[in-house]
Structure formats: structure tokens, C-alpha cells
A and B are shown apart, each in its own frame.
Chain A
Amino acid sequence: MEIDTETTLKIARLSRIKITDAESDDIQKDLNRIVEFVKKLGEIDISGVSEFNFGETYLKDMREDSIIINDNTDDVLKNTKNKNQDFFTVPKIVE
């Protein structure tokens, strides 16, 4: 098994996803199935091969780096109950 319990919990922590001990076995099994599947990539000789890029068609028409003001604060804040005036509220983060 490539991914052990400790690694599973570490990835979950990095992903900011809480997983319970009861879930972790199944998740670990699934992740290992996927890793087993993608291991096939190890069979190819990639020496001298460069990484994929889309070439010159793209990213050549970047827009001006200018400020665009959208006066939609009310619409944005309608999407949360967790607000105070024009701010989002979260649990205390500074002691």
C-alpha cells in the first residue's frame, strides 16, 4: 500500500477536510486504488520530454491591469448570514 493511514490523515489535513477514523479506512483504500491506476505513468521514458503547454495562441492578449469597481457589495453579502456591517465574520483568529 503506497498510502498508509498516517499519509491519509496528512493529506486530509493539507486539504482542510476533516475525516473520522471510521471513514479513513475506506478513503485510504480508494486513494490506493487510484494511485495503483496512475502508477502506469512510471512505465514511460520521459527523459528529454518537456512539460505540456498550450503554445502561443493563449495568454498573448492580457488585459490592462486596471481597477474595475463593481458596486455589488450588497449582492455579495446576501450570500452569507455571517456578517457584520460590510465584513464577513469568522471565529476569533487573534489572541
Chain B
Amino acid sequence: MNEVNLTELGIKDSRDLLKRKQISATELTKAYIQNIEESSKLNAFIEKTFDKALIQASQADKIIGTESEKSLCGIPVGIKDLFCCKGVKTQAASDILDNFVPPYESTVTQKLWNEQAIMLGKLNMDEFAMGSSNETSTYGPAINPWRSSNCNDFLTPGGSSGGSSAAVAANLCAGATGTDTGGSIRQPAAFTGTVGLKPTYGRCSRWGIIAFASSFDQAGPITKNVTDNAIMLKAMSGFDPLDSTSAKIEVPDYEKELGKDIKGLRVGIAKEYSLQKGDSAAKKKLEQTILLLKNMGVELVDVSLPHTEFALPTYYVLAPAEASSNLARYDGVRYGHRAKLDTNDSILELYEKTRSEGFGTEVKRRILIGTYVLSSGYYDAYYKRAQKVRNLIKNDFDKVFKKVDLILTPTTPTAAFPLGSKGTQDPVEMYMNDIFTVPANLAGIPALSLPVGLDESGLPLGIQLIGDYWQEPLLLNTAFNLENALAFENRPKNWWA
């Protein structure tokens, strides 16, 4: 099969060729390994597991065509560094987990290996998933394979799952895992022309995923297209006795849902998700999408989510509060970094010096603000109040989903921005990136980002579909219909190899 570039295929097309024995898993894995070796400029892979990958590939080649073959047999994937993988260095892109090698495997990655996927390595991310540009990673940022036609600045691949989005867009893996606490799957997908889905809270087990904000964190796939996303989501989902917040709800065959007619579907346009004057490209793409949906017989309905303006402030109280509690475990005692101590230093100095040296600036900032909003005297004014506002935001969605099936919004106001251009003076400037993605995390509902085209400087833009609880099949099928109508086939030009 020399006529096709194997690494452009993605999950479904590779699976189909593997099944027909037109390619081998070893051949496919070697093609990805070569791409990864040639892509060091993108800084997407931070830990490579090629030996393991080639062993898995050779096993897959023996299984393909037999009764033992599973849904991802022979498909090479990349794993965000937030997922613990047994025997593979896992640091959440933080110095505090220096050289940590987990003695156990996360449930989601175990499910992928059970489906016979192949592990290429760990992907770059913002430290502890706290960031929107990949710049808080201890490894330095992953670089967006897309470049503006106007300048050669390195652009962010988004955050926090920026290594995942960059790797999928640059053909370094067939699909990648991401996690999404406030937009960390969808914003990177929008910035790289890929498809990213944050499932309903509880769809995927959080066990073995390094915790950031436990009531928001959800794992999900980043892929080249909607079909690949459906296949990978099915493999990642399901109840897990080790995570009591994972839901005992049957996992549908998402791929089978694709291609159904969406005539008569009701899609809401929320007036609160409006774009500014400067965001004309995103506005144009949204309008084009609305037109396409109308042509498919979809009914567009104006809706209102009145508490949207409070979503970001609510998130930036609750997520840091949960983070300050989750990250209390990093004390330098059992694993990771331990500060060098002076002779008379006590255990308190061990904690304080280790945490001061091991955490990066943004992570420290969030631990500090989280500690503040939970501290005596401020708890009611910030934390408790934010929990109530979170309920109001959820109620807004509940009411709207009585009228419509889905909500359509832009994923981000603009395309990818240059590294180093945001949040250097004021951290809040970077937080504003999550303005359209955070509400779905607050309510715990699923949302998907789909590439819709390029802006005037040739950079991809995404639109977001938000659904009610457990409506992933409807999200994926609507995205599938739109994907066919949009025929977005642009890929970044390879400047990095």
C-alpha cells in the first residue's frame, strides 16, 4: 500500500484496511513512529513507548481476522500525560511528579489496551491540565502544526490537551485521549482542525487520571473525524467500580448512530454566546453552519441561558478549590520531587520547599486561590455561593433542553493565537479563552467541537454542539451530518519534518 500515506487514514480507515489485510499493524505503527521521530519541533510526544508499540503491533497482526479481534485492534494512539500508565513515566507535565512511574493503569487506558489499541507514548499538556495554551508544561509547549498565512509565529495547539490535538492534526497518531475540565479537549480540537468530544460527566471512569477538579474532569477522544471519535469514545466509556461517579448506564454503539437523518431536529442558538465585532470569521462560520442545518431540515430556535456570564467566575472559584484539595497529596514524601533540605529542616520545610520548587506558577496560583476561597471567613462568600450559581447554570440548560435537542455555539471566539501572546501580564486574560466551553463542564453535560473551516489567515475554527445528559449519540450524529456537508478536508502543510 505505497500509494496511500498510512498516517493520514485515521482510526476507521486504518481499521478497515487492517481487517482486509491490505496493511499490517506493524507497518502502520512503524509509519507513525517515523512521523513522531521527524516531529520533534512540535514537542507533542514527551515520552515514547515504541518498543511496547511494536510488540503490541506484532500481537495485533496475529489476532486480526480471528475471533479474538477487538474494536481498536492494531490502531496506534497517543495518551495525554494525565493518564497513569503502568510502568510508563507519567508526570502530568509537572516537575513535582519528577520521574514518577505509576504502579497501576488508568481504567480508560486499560480499556483501550483491552480493545487492542497500540500505545505510541505520552502526550504533552499544560501542567496538571491547568492552562489553555500548553505553556504551563514543564516540557515547554507543544506547537500547533497549523501556521498563519500572515506570519511564521509558533501558534498554541490549545490547552490543556495541546499535545493530543497537535499529534492528531500532524498525523503522529490515529487518535488521542484528552481530558476536559473547562474546555481542555474542545478548545485544542478547535485550534487544530480536529474533532474533540467531552462526554457527560460519569461516562468515562476517572480512575487513574491524575485529578485536577474532580467534579468537572472527564476524559474524551480527540480524532481526525467524527466516525473515529465515535469508535474511540465507545472504547473509553463505561461504568467502573473503582470510580463511584462513573455511571452504570449502557454504552451505545456510537458508530451505528451515524448517518441517521436529522430532519426535524431542534437546535438552539443562545443569545448569550455572542461574538464580538473582531470575531467576524467565527461569526461567519457559525452563520454558514446554521444555513447548512436549515438545509437539512433542522429547526433553529432562539434560546436564552441567562446565567452564562457567571460561568467563568463560578468555574474559577470551584475548580481551584477542588484543585487545592486534590493537589495536597504532593508532599515529596512518597514519589516525585523532594527538595534538598538543610540539616535542621522539619517535615514542614520538606512540604513547603518541595511544593514551592515542584509546582509551576499557574498551578501555585490556583492552589493559593483555591485555598483562599475555602478558608474560614471566605467559604460562604465564594465557595458556597459559587456552588449555588453552578446550580442556576445547570437549571438554565435543563430548561432549554425542554425546548431544543442541541445547542450550537462557536467553540472559541478566535483561531489559535501565537505562543507568548496571552496572559503574561494578567492570568485572567488566559482564563477568558474558556468562555464558551466552561458552562458544559459546570452542568456536567456533553459537548463536541467540530472543525468548520478556516479563517482569513488560513487557521481552523471550530463550532460547538452541546447536548443534554447522555446525548452523545445525537451530538455525534449531528456532527457527522455537518461534517459531510462541510467537507472540511484541509490539513496543515508539513513544515516541521
Tell whether A pairs with B: yes
Chain A residues close to B by CB (< 8 Å): 3, 7-8, 11-12, 14-19, 27, 30-31, 33-35, 37-44, 46, 49-52, 54, 57-63, 70, 72, 75-76, 78-80, 82, 88, 90-91, 93
Q: Do A54 and B388 touch across chains, with their CB atoms under 8 A apart? A: no
- Majority SS at the chain A contact face: loop
Of B168-176, B275-283, B339-347, the stretch lying at the interface with chain A is B339-347
What 10 A-B pairs come out closest when comparing CB atoms? A79-B335, A75-B103, A52-B390, A18-B352, A51-B387, A18-B356, A38-B313, A16-B351, A52-B391, A49-B388
Contact of B310 among A7, A40, A70, A80 (CB under 8 A): A40
The answer to whether A52 and B359 have CB atoms under 8 Å apart is: no
Contacts of A37 in B (CB 8 A): 312-313, 316, 428, 431
Decide if B420 is an interface residue (CB 8 Å cutoff): no
| A27/B384 in contact, CB under 8 A | no
Binary CB contact string for chain B from 331 to 375 against chain A (1 if under 8 A, 0 otherwise):
101111010010001111111110110010000110111011101
Distance in Å: Cβ of A44 to nearest Cβ of chain B:
6
Majority-rule SS of B interface residues? helix
> Are A27 and B365 touching (Cβ within 8 A)?
yes
A93 touches B444 (CB 8 A): no
Per-position 1/0 for B280-307, Cβ under 8 A of A:
0000000000000000000000000001
Q: In the complex, which residues of chain A have a beta carbon less than 8 angstroms from the beta carbon of B388?
A: 46, 49-52
Q: Can you list 10 contacts pairing A with B, beta carbon distance less than 8 Å?
A: A15-B324, A18-B352, A27-B368, A30-B365, A34-B369, A34-B428, A37-B428, A40-B313, A58-B247, A91-B350
Shortest CB-to-CB span from B360 to chain A, Å, is: 12
- On whether the beta carbons of A31 and B365 are closer than 8 Å, the reply is yes
Residues of A within 8 A of B394 (CB): 52
User: A29–B24 Cα gap in the complex (Å)?
Assistant: 57
Partner-A contacts on B (CB < 8 A): 99-101, 103-104, 201-202, 215, 239, 241-242, 244-245, 247-249, 307, 309-310, 312-314, 316-317, 324, 328, 331, 333-336, 338, 341, 345-353, 355-356, 359, 364-365, 367-369, 371-373, 375, 381-382, 384-392, 394, 426-428, 431, 442, 444, 469
For A16, list chain B residues within 8 Å (CB). 328, 331, 348, 351-352, 355
Contact call B385/A41, Cβ cutoff below 8 A:
yes
Beyond the given pairs A15-B324, A44-B307, A49-B389, 13 more chain A to chain B contacts, judged by CB atoms under 8 angstroms and listed by A's residue number, are A7-B372, A14-B375, A17-B367, A27-B365, A31-B372, A41-B310, A41-B385, A44-B310, A44-B389, A46-B385, A52-B390, A57-B247, A78-B103
Q: How far is the CA of A39 from the CA of B249 in the complex (A)?
A: 38
| Cβ contact within 8 Å between A79 and B369 | no
A31, B369: Cβ atoms closer than 8 Å: yes
**Nearest CB on B from A23, distance (A):** 9
Residue in chain B with minimal CB distance to A14? B371
A90 contact set on B, CB distance < 8 A? 333, 347, 350
Q: Which listed residue (B248, B333, B365, B382) contacts A61, Cβ 8 A?
A: B248
User: A15 contacts B350, CB within 8 Å?
Assistant: no
Question: Which residues on A sit within 8 Å (CB–CB) of B346?
Answer: 91, 93
Taking each of A3, A16, A59, A80, which has the highest tally of chain B beta carbons within 10 Å of its own beta carbon? A16
A34-B369, A82-B338, A90-B350 as given contacts; A58 in contact with B245, CB under 8 Å: yes
Kindly provide the distance from the CB of B365 to the nearest chain A CB, expressed in whole angstroms: 6
Q: Which residues of the partner chain A approach B372 to less than 8 Å between Cβ atoms?
A: 3, 7, 11, 31, 35
Shortest C-beta distance, A46 to chain B (Å), equals 4
Cα of A51 to Cα of B216 in the assembled complex, Å: 15
A16 to B469, CA, bound (A): 38
Cα A25 to Cα B431 in complex, Å, equals 21
B347 touching A79 by the CB < 8 A rule? no
Assess whether A63 is in contact with B241, with CB atoms less than 8 Å apart: yes
Q: Chain B's nearest CB lies how many Å from the CB of A31? A: 6
Complex CA distance for A40 and B402, rounded to whole angstroms: 28
> Which chain A residues border B371 with CB–CB below 8 Å?
11, 14-15
